Amino acid sequence: MLCEICGKKEATVHLTEVINEQMRKLNLCEDCAREKGAEMEEHFGLSDLLAGLADLGATVKPEAAVTIKCPKCGFSYSDFKKIGRLGCSECYEVFKKQLTPILKRIHSADRHVGKVPIQVGKTVKGVKDLQDLRLQMEKAIQSEEFEEAARIRDKMKELEKKNPESRDKK
């Protein structure tokens, strides 16, 4: 299959564009795909997306965020908004107030809880159920719903009795 843009080289990249709710599939050679990618980056880059999301949930005054710098790498919040990447792992703590609303909007949570590997058997389901209950209990505690947290704790103990292997895999 030949590239749909240049019509000369073999198409090795298959791109799906959605414009105005119309889906269009493109088969491109590497060179044309690279150009198309650069063109899309000009119009709408990752850093623009992140900067837009950051502005939507701004909880800190913009001028205050600009002056904050990471002591480890010297990266500023405005650097993050320009390139869409943080400088080091410590930046997550330094810019926590600015990043939390963005992470919640993107991931529906402000911390990573991981994934359970796909396996067959009761143990994985028990582990997943326990993880879900643990998160629910933490939310109940944070919102000071202590009766609900106690009910969830009891449910967790019951689940651990039924599936002892899940207790070891927190």
Q: From first to last of its 170 residues, what are the pLDDT tens digits of the chain?
A: 899 889 999 988 887 777 777 888 888 888 888 887 766 555 444 555 555 555 544 444 545 555 788 999 998 888 887 777 888 989 888 988 888 887 777 777 766 666 655 554 455 556 677 888 889 999 999 989 999 999 999 988 888 887 766 555 55
Query: CATH topology for 1-44?
Result: Wheat Germ Agglutinin (Isolectin 2); domain 1 (3.30.60)
Q: Which of 90, 95, 93, 62 is nearest to 76 (CA)?
A: 95
pTM of the shown model: 0.36
- Which residue matches tokens 């943080």? 86
Structure tokens at 24: 């269009």
